[in-house]
Amino acid sequence: MDFTKIDELRRKLQALRPLTQTEIQRLREEFVIEDTYNSNAIEGSSLTLRETALILKEGITIGEKPLKEHLEAIGHRDAFAYMAGLADTNAALTERVIKEVHSLVLMHDPLHKGVYRSIPVTIAGAVHAPPPPYLVPEQIAQLLADYPAMQQRRHIIEAIAEFHLRFEGIHPFIDGNGRTGRLLLNLELIKAGFLPVNIKFADRRKYYECFDHYCANGHTAQTLAALIADYETQELERYIAMLTA
């Protein structure tokens, strides 16, 4: 896969004038609302984009919606803020970071937040079965140990895609794996000088097919890398257009 265009866009964005803190805050707030809506919707939340915005910006409770969904929206927002802070300091991706992000994502579930699952799980419709719980710590440790070499061998977007696919395949937590994994994906994109991407609820079928393709085609991350690259290209072009208007 050719990443020439996306690398050129990244360099072009980095060469432009920096955004002001107010501009960054406004754009990030808009992104977080949309990302929270889409990431939670992929996992089954019934909140609309408008309802998500009301919860996060105005603190309004949507009467007919479960409290759990309100807390999931708040937890995702807080986890994104934590992730963005880590990215700003170029923090290493560690087991502690994974568990802390998950603790914020699953703030509504004190018993399971930041704790690896203790029971077997299945992923509905998936061609891959996650490992038994006693192998989870070992496989997460191996994934983290493999990640630096993945970055050296491949373009960073391919390495991030492979990390995400393997992380979701391990499915280390009882709940919140998808939301945690997508936040970690954005952590690594920002650290690499790219923009965070918002995997759309409307594209969830395409997103899920990336996992099937990975398992059925010799564990190649190319399909997910292409999806991430498409989103990234759109974000880079949007930011560049704003800065050169």
Summarize pLDDT for 160-199 with one digit per residue, the tens.
Answer: 999 999 999 999 999 999 999 999 999 999 999 999 999 9
Total domains in the chain come to 1
CATH number, domain containing residue 193: 1.10.3290.10
Residue 218, pLDDT score: 84
Mean pLDDT of the chain: 94
Compute the residue count for the chain: 245
| Residue closest to 42 by CA, chosen among 198, 197, 159, 230 | 198
- Under DSSP, the state recorded for 57 is I
| Number of other CB atoms surrounding residue 182 within 10 Å | 26
Give whole-number Cα distances, 212 to 5, 27, 83, 89, 203, in Å.
27, 34, 28, 34, 15
Provide the pLDDT confidence category of residue 37 given band limits of 50, 70 and 90.
Answer: very high
Amino acid at 58: E
Query: Which residue among 102, 108, 164, 171 is the active-site one?
Result: 171
Model pTM score = 0.95
- Quick check: 126 pLDDT over 70? no
**Is the pLDDT confidence value at 151 over 90?**
yes
Tell the residue number behind the tokens 């398992």, with chain if given.
Answer: 215
171 catalytic, yes or no? yes
pLDDT at 18: 78
Per-residue model confidence as pLDDT tens digits over 51-97: 999 999 999 999 899 999 999 999 999 999 999 999 999 999 999 99
pLDDT on residue 133: 97
Range of the domain at 80: 4-244
Write down the pLDDT at residue 24: 81
- CA distance to 7, 16, 108, 180, per residue, from 10 (Å): 5, 10, 37, 25
Amino acid identity, residue 143?
A: L
52-63 pLDDT tens trace: 999 999 999 998
Residue 103 pLDDT: 98
CA geometry: angle 1, 187, 42, nearest 5 deg: 80
b (16+ CB within 10 A) / e for 132-153? ebeebeebbeebbeebeebbee
Is 90 exceeded by the pLDDT of residue 219?
Answer: no
Query: CA-to-CA distance for 136 and 130, rounded, in angstroms?
Result: 9
Would you say residue 125 has pLDDT above 70?
no
